Structure 1
């Protein structure tokens, strides 16, 4: 699709055109500043949040991915081209012996993840309410649950969508962000080299450019908005990035920074444990009680990796996959177990310590907050998790900032990480921010 506009007089110098509304970090306002009280308990607030969120503590093991038909499809983030030849799939569990009636709907959002003013029929071809009819009970499990599954309907516009699941009475149950893109512009991502000293060994920089020769954009230097993510996370994404060079003759925007605006802490390969069997101990497990109800698992007592040499191994970039090694089909055969995390620390960290990863929706959830045992000099927490293979970090909460995963994990530029760039543009006279470009790269890929 080409954007054609007959407004040559609007192509003026960027200094004469009002600055477009930047993409800002929606999480910044919710992070408590120093001295402020922490937010309320995670599940207490039922207000709809336009982000990945779970509103009901009985809803567990949420996965939202692109159904590619491959065994690794659950690792594919919910990012699809406008044609949606491979649908976005949502799966989740409801703990308990009774099923519930759930419906889903789509909320079209702007680039800042606020509801747009579009009507449903402007981005959908059907009524915006979808009954989830694909569900089944857990089989042979000590913890009863129902497993639900649905596919997102096709949409007519690119952009940001919130897939919202609700129970009777419109009470929100969970929400997931979905990106639908169309490559109208040419996005080029490449690994850069941080212009610094020691940072060259701990940071990863992503340089990028946007070519718009095939589409007529009005004032692209100000109106094109970009967002850069690491491992498809929203909590530490780079917002409000502006082009450093505008090459009008080549119709290209270059983004090359010198103050780490486009650099991330490379961190480390993710920690992992194998919970796919609850009969024998898997990797990362120190104790297993198969007779407990629910079954009980204690993970290996771990230590900080900050200051240690880098160790290369394959991880899944913070994701997890549900599976039952004995019976397969982790969706309905996987049982739940209480899992104890242990982390040695000679002294308390300068902030609250959490387990973080896809298992927490990349959020600092109360149930994953660790308590410090001064006598044993270690952090501990116990959580209920479904059978599967997990990646995770230990992080420290920082007031007004993204979680600090370097304090316990260290940071090495050799770490394998994935990055993706989102390019938004709102054509003049329209009311929707279109996702006109998308590209992803892997730095230090292990695949040859």
Structure 2
């Protein structure tokens, strides 16, 4: 009887393990500046065309020159494991050591810079489109961190239009996407079940909207014209600073100090939610590593303690406030949580960052729920970038293909 009970428990838990969604694992403190590099210089969400290089870079600040290994897994649209066996999506082998690394040059902070490029001699290519997770392990086969990326084929036209909200309650605060998908040289079978989309604002998967069904079709074109379901909070333009010259105060930097490392003290920021919107060009939450004196910033850019500060009004004193941006993968961690200074009545936080140009903002988290506009505000005029990723699983197929990528910006938002 006891044996039968144990068997029932095992069978109950198998479906939970099999169909659980994978989450990215953020790195320990000694791993910094994790970046996927694509067609642009700044780090951003990696949505790459089939056949393009996948380039992952990161720094290890412990000075041990330790070995790291990578594994690649394929996933369905909803980030559950796909049914594909490794050889079906990967030509060659993974679980290989990252062989390309260099030590820092002329920097106060010693670090090793690792660079993984796929294809390489061991991992010759990724064969199919879809969702992927790359996991980095140390010598003891312990997971250090993991990151998601996507591979797509250009098999459909994806039109993206950004409109103001049709909900009068949020007409000044939200932006709405209208989408049109037209397949090329193919026919959709049962599109309401087999076609899925993910809408991403400013390369942030944490706030993505997914799995909306097409409302109607015009010929072979799928149309999405939702009033509420495809709406995003407009947010506000990101704040930014630049410290490419480590010895001088640059954009957003009030003063500098040299101790064991350089310290950059930024100008103190204020709450913007109650103020009118002001256009301020940004790079939508991304960052760019750069050094004015370096030929190769990847190993010659130094690490700096950047001191952020925010004036705290009475409404914010008891809030959980975090720094937010692509520099830490939009994660809520203790090393980016603002600390309240009772004496000066401000929130402060020092963060160790590599030299460059950074976008950031302050957000509030209540019981695990993000409120991105509590401090920065939400404005329909905000310039945001949007990506629409289109997935399709044909009849009898065993995985979700990505058959199209559409992009749009709210610069010319319309009613």
| TM-score, structure 1 as length reference | 0.82
What does residue range 216-235 of structure 1 map to in structure 2 within 5 Å?
216-235=187-206
Q: Could you give the per-residue CA deviations for residues 295-351 of structure 1, whole angstroms, max 9, x where no partner exists? A: 222211111111222222321111111112223422111111212111001225363
Task: Tell me whether 1:256 sits opposite 2:228 in the alignment.
Answer: no
* C-alpha deviation, 1:390, in angstroms: 0.7
Give the counterpart of 1:244 among 215, 220, 235.
215
Judging by fraction of residues, say which structure has more strand: 2
> Hey, what does 1:57 align to over in structure 2?
29
Task: Tell me whether 1:211 sits opposite 2:182 in the alignment.
Answer: yes
In 1, the alpha carbon distance for the partners of 2:271 and 2:46 equals 32
In 2, the alpha carbon distance for the partners of 1:163 and 1:135 equals 18
In 1, the alpha carbon distance for the partners of 2:361 and 2:287 equals 13
Check whether the contact 2:155–2:184 (CA below 8 A) recurs between aligned residues: no
In 2, the alpha carbon distance for the partners of 1:144 and 1:279 equals 18
In 2, the alpha carbon distance for the partners of 1:252 and 1:400 equals 39
Structure 1 stretches of 4+ with a deviation exceeding 6 A read: none
> Hey, what does 1:326 align to over in structure 2?
293
The change in CA–CA distance for 1:146 and 1:184 in structure 2 (over 3 A counts) is: same
Task: Tell me whether 1:127 sits opposite 2:93 in the alignment.
Answer: yes
| Residue aligned with 1:53, SS | coil
In 1, the alpha carbon distance for the partners of 2:164 and 2:174 equals 9
> Hey, what does 1:147 align to over in structure 2?
113
Task: Tell me whether 1:355 sits opposite 2:323 in the alignment.
Answer: yes
> Hey, what does 1:398 align to over in structure 2?
366
* C-alpha deviation, 1:445, in angstroms: 6.7
Check whether the contact 1:120–1:128 (CA below 8 A) recurs between aligned residues: no
* C-alpha deviation, 1:56, in angstroms: 2.5
Check whether the contact 2:195–2:392 (CA below 8 A) recurs between aligned residues: yes
Give unmatched runs, 5+ long, in structure 1. Answer: 1-47
In 1, the alpha carbon distance for the partners of 2:396 and 2:388 equals 25
> Hey, what does 1:411 align to over in structure 2?
378
> Hey, what does 2:341 align to over in structure 1?
373
Task: Tell me whether 1:432 sits opposite 2:377 in the alignment.
Answer: no
* C-alpha deviation, 1:200, in angstroms: 2.5
For these two proteins, the number of residue pairs brought into alignment is: 388
Check whether the contact 1:271–1:393 (CA below 8 A) recurs between aligned residues: yes
* C-alpha deviation, 1:427, in angstroms: 2.1
Check whether the contact 1:213–1:252 (CA below 8 A) recurs between aligned residues: no
Q: Could you give the per-residue CA deviations for residues 270-295 of structure 1, whole angstroms, max 9, x where no partner exists? A: 100112122111111122112x0122
* C-alpha deviation, 1:74, in angstroms: 2.7
* C-alpha deviation, 1:76, in angstroms: 5.0
> Hey, what does 1:35 align to over in structure 2?
none
| Residue aligned with 2:298, SS | helix
In 1, the alpha carbon distance for the partners of 2:145 and 2:197 equals 27
Check whether the contact 1:188–1:208 (CA below 8 A) recurs between aligned residues: yes
* C-alpha deviation, 1:115, in angstroms: 2.0
Give the counterpart of 1:174 among 134, 142, 145.
145
Give unmatched runs, 5+ long, in structure 2. Answer: 1-19, 120-124
Check whether the contact 2:199–2:386 (CA below 8 A) recurs between aligned residues: yes
| Residue aligned with 1:201, SS | coil
> Hey, what does 2:264 align to over in structure 1?
297
Task: Tell me whether 1:286 sits opposite 2:257 in the alignment.
Answer: no
* C-alpha deviation, 1:99, in angstroms: 0.3
CA RMSD of aligned residues (A): 2.1
> Hey, what does 2:16 align to over in structure 1?
none
> Hey, what does 1:386 align to over in structure 2?
354
Check whether the contact 1:65–1:77 (CA below 8 A) recurs between aligned residues: no
Check whether the contact 1:299–1:340 (CA below 8 A) recurs between aligned residues: yes
